[in-house]
Amino acid sequence: MPMMRQAFKSLTVALAVPLSLTMIIIFTFGSGPKYRALQKPFWFPRLWLIHVASLGSSFLMGMSAWLVWAEGGFHRQPDALPLYIAQVSLSLIWDPLVLKIGASHVGLLFCVVHFGTLVACYQKFRPVNPIAGAFVKPCLVWVAFLTFVNFKLIFI
């Protein structure tokens, strides 16, 4: 029972930290006046969808990192933790950079680096725990789509 309680506490922290940071960014910078003002094609995601997907991605990556941590993967794969921290940081920066400030050119660079960081996380997480690797895949799809949207934003 104490071990289960400890696992629950660590899971709570692993999920609460990235989700809280993402929510703080959304509530602080999430109105997206530059993004709302653009004449966008119909297939561009709505602002609420971007925020929900960002929260979902934070949740999945937090769960994935916890699974790796629970298996001792951050000790066996010492590059995994810095990659995860970089991924969280990059995911937090994109929203205010593109949606609030409107810096699409810089945002594209951050999206590409974020995608590369997610690929590296996938490569480090999958050998430790295949389920953790599977949780990274939807995040890869989301950031790839966001990169494409960001690329199109440059030409609007």
Q: Where are the domains of the chain?
A: 2-154
pLDDT, tens digit (0-9, with 9 covering 90-100), for 104-137: 999 999 999 999 999 999 999 999 999 999 999 9
pLDDT tens digits, 14-44? 999 999 999 999 999 877 777 888 888 888 9
Task: Identify whether the C-beta of residue 113 lies closer than 8 Å to the C-beta of residue 127.
Answer: no
How many Å apart are CA 7 and CA 11, to the nearest integer? Answer: 6
